[in-house]
């Protein structure tokens, strides 16, 4: 069974396949990507991009969350974890890829970039990259993680 990260979009309560999503509020616009491997591999992966409310003249920013839920067979326990990837991420929808980034390096943080790449079958791959400076060694550290494919 092949698993794919699919783009799901909703307007109000009706399920529609669109390029934008409304969660019932005009200021809460975003996208939801889902990869459901249950019951075969016991995982549900969801990636949410939700537009933050903004004032006139401000750049649009997005809150990006990654949810992983499922059942751990060896431990016989279920889990449901949501990880915030960024609260004020700027996202680019200009190309075939969706790229969201947030740079907190100036305040001892990290540069975070999330890239969603779609193939010909509209299946998406989500890759998270983080770059920061290790305060102990002074060296730049880079970490790349494939969230879903």
Q: Give pTM, 2 decimals.
A: 0.70
Question: What single-letter DSSP state applies at residue 59?
Answer: P
- Residue 40 confidence (pLDDT): 64
pLDDT tens digits along 49-84: 888 877 776 778 899 999 988 887 788 888 899 999
- Residue 19 confidence (pLDDT): 34
CB atoms within 10 A of CB 46: 18
d(CA 66, CA 116): 13
Please check the confidence at residue 28 and state whether its pLDDT lies above 80.
no
pLDDT tens digits along 77-133: 888 999 999 988 998 877 778 889 998 887 668 899 999 887 777 777 889 999 988
d(CA 15, CA 11): 7
């Amino acid at each position: 069974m092949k698993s794919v990260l699919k783009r799901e979009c909703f307007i109000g309560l009706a399920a529609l396949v669109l390029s934008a999503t409304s969660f019932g509020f005009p200021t809460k616009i975003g996208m939801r990507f889902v990869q459901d491997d249950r019951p075969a591999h016991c995982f549900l992966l969801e990636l949410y991009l939700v537009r933050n409310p903004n004032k006139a003249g401000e750049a649009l920013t997005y809150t990006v969350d990654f949810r992983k839920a499922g059942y751990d067979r060896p431990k016989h326990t279920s889990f449901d974890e949501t990880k915030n990837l960024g609260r004020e991420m700027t996202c680019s929808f200009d190309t075939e890829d969706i790229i969201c980034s947030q740079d907190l390096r100036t305040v001892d943080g990290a540069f975070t970039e999330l890239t969603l790449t779609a193939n010909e079958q509209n299946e998406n791959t989500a890759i998270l990259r983080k770059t920061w400076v290790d305060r102990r060694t002074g060296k730049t550290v880079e970490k790349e993680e494939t969230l879903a494919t």
